[in-house]
Amino acid sequence: MTAKRLSAPILLLLPAVLVLAAVVVVPLSLSFYSSFTPFRLTRPETFFTFIGLRNYRNILFDANFWWAFGRTVLLLTIALNLEMLLGLGLALLVEKASRGQRLLRTIMMFPMMFSPILVGFQFKFMFNDNIGLVNNALQSLGLTQDAIPWLIEGHLAFIAISIAEIWSSTSIFAILILAGLLAMPKEPVEAARVDGCTPWQTFRYVTWPFIMPFAYIAMTIRSLDVARAYDIVKIMTDGGPAGRTELLWTLVARTAYSDARMGVANAMAYFSILLSIVFTVYFFRKLAAARTQIGAEW
């Protein structure tokens, strides 16, 4: 019997491959498998009942799931657009500053140093209807006499969550766009000014095409982030009031752990990943197009 010896590269890679398989591939396949079972944490034997696509079919007809799905897309749209605009504005403001730019950059990245859990608590405190900063300010300025129920009314709660989300992540846009602005050659801008452009035209026709790729990179990162938004919502409203701020992943977590319906939860999770994939592909396409357009060499 001649045992074929494994070649050195394979042998050397084997430990890493085994570890990766153990911590990534096995759980992934198990969870993927369990999405085809009626697995409940309380009844372990259900793990072995195969029910095919029934979980997926149930999800498709589950109004709660679609509401959460829609809300996540809505949050994504609102947050990404506003963060884009605000981040762009912030980057332009900081880039134009002639003095103290280093300090401004540090302050600008301040929100990125906060963990999402902390951001959640912070904004929960600020939006508190009784003692929160926001209501206190509105009342002191005489804009209203009432205590606005920020986290108690559905729409307001969604707005509050969006604000927290935007506050914590505008910096990502700002820092990436600022990097683009600093990397950009100054001469085309000067040429445009001489060619007769107003500041707005200079931005529109010269600066913007240059920084567009950077904006798309930020978009990609953030779309993945928001599509799996969990911590801030969990802390601020926990999906409430009455499920009015339930997002995909708070719903998944609730189904999995509170309701103990692991099988359904995994089915939802795999379905939700589609959303992330769609956005990533979309923004990467845009990024590639924008890069070719400016003839980027990176």
Partner 1 sequence: MAIVSLKKLTKRYGNMEIVHGIDLDVADREFIALVGPSGCGKSTTLRMIAGLEDISGGTIEIGDRIVNDLPPRSRNISMVFQSYALYPHMTVRENLGFSLKIAGAPKEEMDRRVAEASAILGLDALLERRPSQLSGGQRQRVAMGRAIVRDPDVFLFDEPLSNLDAKLRTQMRTEIKKLHAKVKSTVIYVTHDQVEAMTLADRIVIMRDGYIEQVGTPDEVFQRPATRFVAGFIGSPPMNLQEATVDDGKVVFASGQSLPLPRRFKARVSTGDKVVFGLRPDDLYPAGHGLHSGDAADVHEVELPVTVTEPLGNETLVFADFDRRDWVSRMLNPKPLKAGDRIAMSFDLSQAHLFSAETGKSLRS
Partner 2 sequence: MVMMDANASARLKRRAATVAHRVGLFLAMLFICLPGIWIVLSSLRPTVEILAKPPVWIPQQVSLDAYIAMFSGVGKGGIPVLDYFRIR
- Name beta bridge partners: 43: 40
Binding mask 169-188 for partner 1 (x = CB under 8 A): ----------------x-xx
| Interface with partner 1 (CB under 8 A), residue from 194, 242, 258, 298 | 194
Partner from partner 2, partner 1, none binding residue 139, C-beta < 5-8 Å depending on class:
partner 2
| Interface with partner 1 (CB under 8 A), residue from 209, 240, 241, 243 | 209
Stretch touching partner 1 by CB under 8 A, among 20-28, 113-121, 157-165, 204-212:
204-212
Contact between 104 and partner 1 (CB under 8 A)? Answer: no
Q: Tokens at residue 110, please?
A: 């301040």
User: Which C-beta is closer to partner 2: that of 18 or that of 93?
Assistant: 93
Sequential DSSP letters for 190-249: HHHHHTT--HHHHIIIIIHHHHHHHHHHHHHHHHHHHHT--HHHHHHTTT-STTTT--HH
> Cα(203)–Cα(197) distance, rounded to whole angstroms?
9
| Interface with partner 1 (CB under 8 A), residue from 50, 66, 205, 257 | 205
Contact between 89 and partner 2 (CB under 8 A)? Answer: yes
Which is it for the CA torsion 281, 115, 250, 129, positive or negative?
negative
Q: Which residue has the tokens 């990125």?
A: 112
User: Which C-beta is closer to partner 1: that of 77 or that of 201?
Assistant: 201
3-state secondary structure of 99: coil
The H-assigned helical ranges of the chain are 8-20, 26-34, 54-60, 63-96, 101-108, 116-126, 133-140, 154-183, 187-194, 199-202, 208-227, 231-236, 248-253, 262-293
Peptide bond preceding 241 in cis form (omega within 30 of 0)? yes
> Cα(178)–Cα(91) distance, rounded to whole angstroms?
5
- Name beta bridge partners: 40: 43
Contact between 205 and partner 2 (CB under 8 A)? Answer: no
Residues 109-128 that bind partner 2 (CB under 8 A): 110-111, 114, 122-123, 125-126
User: Which C-beta is closer to partner 2: that of 58 or that of 139?
Assistant: 139
Q: Tokens at residue 214, please?
A: 């950077």
User: Which C-beta is closer to partner 1: that of 144 or that of 293?
Assistant: 293
| Interface with partner 1 (CB under 8 A), residue from 201, 238, 273, 289 | 201
Partner from partner 2, partner 1, none binding residue 197, C-beta < 5-8 Å depending on class:
partner 1
User: Which C-beta is closer to partner 2: that of 134 or that of 253?
Assistant: 134
Q: Calculate the alpha carbon distances from 34 to 55, 265, 273, 274, 277 in Å.
A: 10, 9, 16, 18, 21
Residue 200 CB, shortest distance to partner 1, in Å, is 11
Which residues are near partner 2 by CB under 8 A?
89-90, 93-94, 96-97, 104, 107-108, 110-111, 114, 122-123, 125-126, 130-131, 133, 136, 139-140, 167, 171
Which residues are near partner 1 by CB under 8 A?
185, 187-188, 190-198, 201, 205-206, 209-210, 293-295
